[in-house]
Amino acid sequence: MKFNIALLAGDGIGPEVIEQAVKVSDAVAAKFGHEITWKPALTGAAAIDAVGEPYPDETHDICIASDAVLFGAIGHPRFDNDPSAKVRPEQGLLKMRKKLGLFANVRPTFTFPSLLDKSPLKKERIEGTDLVFLRELTGGIYFGEKGRRDGGETAFDNCVYTRVEVQRLAKKGFELAMTRSKKLCCVDKANVMETSRLWRETVQAMEKEYPEVVVSYEFVDAVAMRLVQWPNSYDVLITENLFGDILTDEASVISGSMGLMPSASMGTDIALFEPIHGSYPQATGLNIANPMATVLSAAMMFETAFNLHEEGKAIRDAVNKALAEGIVTEDLADGGKAYGTKEVGDWLAANI
């Protein structure tokens, strides 16, 4: 098959980890007889510097003309420490999600047998964890009206959801649950928030369409606690944008490193694949960042966007082998030998 893939490296360690994912994807393409044409485009601080806009129209045009988007990371400390900055790299990420209609962010959390001892959580608690968060990505507090009043002394961020937004995300959750253990957890704060009550009411009304799925409704604070106590008790979790942002960072601890967790963002049309970690500015250019989350995002791309499961498995197998043999970056080296970002990428490509 022939694919055009938009390549948005972004900021910080983005370009370094993306380079490894490209290398590994090209190795997969060579092995299975596919042809990938990469279409690089600007995003984030890099795009602000070049054209004054974190998600330029040219980048959007390249994305919609492609078969999938592979994304690195966005964010630069120059903007974090300047609350008055007019344009911020993160705005590019949000604009991109909105304009590409990427409403469902799929964030799996699984454990790697060779890393069970690396997690700060007890091995017997996390063994066998295999759960998926479906985080709503284009609504909620991220996109509600925000601003200041009272001469800047009061600030507000509105959280808004429509029933349709909840339904389309929940539908994906029910469908995913049907392909797994038929267990779905709706995470909300329905004891306090009106948007959460709309979520709960909407999901409850959909239950009859999926009689085999057992749905539980849990408050986000309780989930935050149970997630690290009994991660094994969860399978598919659906939640709104901000809760999903926070809980998926928490869940990444289960796997042993944030540098391992991939994600897919699906919409009506195109899908985007990106690691869940950020731009890790302190590590930029040092060849120390873990490329595996981005490499595994490429595996999700082969599987979900192109329906090529053997190709995805080839990548997963190479990553598992690297972890088992200790071909890892410093976040996982645990006092042992740490390999560079590039060396891990080379090893993975050679082992496809």
Instruction: Give the binding-site size for ligand IPM (rule: CB under 6 A).
Output: 7
- Pick from 245, 274, 311, 331 the residue near Mn ion by CB under 5 A: 245
Q: Which does 288 bind (CB under 5 to 8 A by kind): ligand IPM, Mn ion, none?
A: none
Q: Which does 12 bind (CB under 5 to 8 A by kind): ligand IPM, Mn ion, none?
A: none
Residue 217 appears among annotated catalytic residues: no
Q: Rounded to the nearest whole angstrom, what is the least distance from the CB of residue 140 to Mn ion in the complex?
A: 13
Pairing of strands 183-188, 236-239: parallel
Q: Rounded to the nearest whole angstrom, what is the least distance from the CB of residue 74 to ligand IPM in the complex?
A: 6
Residue 234 appears among annotated catalytic residues: no
- Pick from 16, 67, 136, 245 the residue near ligand IPM by CB under 6 A: 245
Q: In terms of CB distance, is 1 or 246 closer to ligand IPM?
A: 246
Residue 61 appears among annotated catalytic residues: no
Query: Which residues between 277 and 316 bind ligand IPM (CB under 6 A)?
Result: 278
Residue 235 appears among annotated catalytic residues: no
User: Long-range CB contacts (< 8 A, 24+ apart) of 86-92?
Assistant: 87/48, 87/52, 87/53, 87/54, 88/54, 89/10, 89/11, 89/43, 89/44, 89/45, 89/47, 89/48, 89/54, 90/54, 91/54, 91/55, 92/43, 92/44, 92/47, 92/48, 92/53, 92/54, 92/55
Q: Which of 245, 280, 331, 339 is catalytic?
A: 245
136 binds Mn ion (CB under 5 A): no
Q: Rounded to the nearest whole angstrom, what is the least distance from the CB of residue 331 to Mn ion in the complex?
A: 17
11 binds ligand IPM (CB under 6 A): no
72 binds ligand IPM (CB under 6 A): no
Residue 161 appears among annotated catalytic residues: no
Q: Which residue is nearest to ligand IPM (CB)?
A: 90
Q: In terms of CB distance, is 129 or 252 closer to Mn ion?
A: 252
- Pick from 75, 139, 140, 262 the residue near ligand IPM by CB under 6 A: 75
Q: Which of 26, 49, 235, 249 is catalytic?
A: 249
Give how far the C-alpha of residue 232 lies from the chain's centroid of Cα atoms, to the nearest Å: 20
90 binds ligand IPM (CB under 6 A): yes
Q: In terms of CB distance, is 67 or 90 closer to ligand IPM?
A: 90
Q: Which of 95, 98, 99, 189 is catalytic?
A: 189
Q: Which does 90 bind (CB under 5 to 8 A by kind): ligand IPM, Mn ion, none?
A: ligand IPM
93 binds ligand IPM (CB under 6 A): yes
Q: Which does 11 bind (CB under 5 to 8 A by kind): ligand IPM, Mn ion, none?
A: none
Catalytically annotated residues: 142, 189, 221, 245, 249
Interface residue list for ligand IPM (CB under 6 A): 74-75, 90, 93, 245, 276, 278
Interface residue list for Mn ion (CB under 5 A): 245
